[in-house]
Amino acid sequence: MKKLAGLTGGRERWLSTAAAALTIALIWEVVARFYPDYLMPSLGPVFMRLGRQAVSASFLATVGVSLSRLAVGYLLACGVGLTMGLLAAPVRAFRLYLRALVGIIQSVPPVAWIPLLVIILGFGEVPLLVVILVASFSPIVLSVINATEMVDQNRLWVARQLGASNIQLVTKVYAPEVLPAVMNGAQIAFGNAWRSLIAAEMVGGVNTGLGWSITLAGEIADMPGVVLGIVVIGTLATIIERLLLDRVKGRLLRWRESQ
């Protein structure tokens, strides 16, 4: 029954995603009728162009560069966020400090760091990865902290009475309990990481990546190219979230239930 429910839930998520995408496409087509093609092209020519470019080496290289940046920066953010959140779990003062620190960092749009990072670190990959890290580790930290504060205090008391150290509390009590919250935070962090990466590629002084390609298309008044970039960005984000993150979340939660 659980397997059947999982299949049904997965089908419903894909259907809802398809319905949302169709809604956006219909709205786009209606609005595009009121503007000339050189300002707001309809989606038909855009998808025809996508079909031609999808097999080109330059297009695949552009997508690959952005995805590789995303993978490095996002995984780094997940590791940093999870580690900091779990280390703060047994220490209330550290939790309060970390929550305040994350609140300050979140108040600044990630792309606003780009000029400073470029001056300090120079042009290239490092500023982009730092922007992804800054943008996406905060939801994970906050999710872990919130979840650790909800852990059953009786379990903590019993563990301490049995002589558990802070490290053992983290690995044996906190970690299994916060897993659902970690996955929810990781999904939010992915959205932050993807959006921040594209914005950073647009203004970060690089000459590769999907964000850069949209900026270039806009500078030469290639509006179909701009729309094509938007479609690819949205499609890739949806595929990654549905095919990868949802599956990882499901498997980890099943592992937790079996413990």
Residue-wise pLDDT for 144-187, tens only, equals 888 877 776 777 677 777 777 777 777 777 777 777 778 888 88
Write out the residue range of the structural domain in which residue 116 sits: 58-258
**Relative orientation angle of helices 57-88 and 223-239, to the nearest 10 degrees:** 40
Q: Is residue 212 part of a domain?
A: yes
Q: Is residue 17 part of a domain?
A: no
The enclosing domain of 161 has a CATH number of: 1.10.3720.10
In whole angstroms, give the CA distance from residue 252 to residue 115. Answer: 39
Q: Is residue 73 part of a domain?
A: yes
Q: Is residue 12 part of a domain?
A: no
Instruction: State both tokens at 17.
Output: 């995603």
14: exposed, middle or buried (C-beta count within 10 Å: 0-12, 13-18, 19+)? middle
Q: What is the mean pLDDT of residues 78-86?
A: 87
Q: Is residue 108 part of a domain?
A: yes
pTM, two decimals, is 0.80
Instruction: State both tokens at 236.
Output: 């890739």
Look at the chain and report how many structural domains it folds into: 1
Give residue 257's pLDDT: 55
User: Is pLDDT of 5 > 50?
Assistant: no
Q: Is residue 11 part of a domain?
A: no
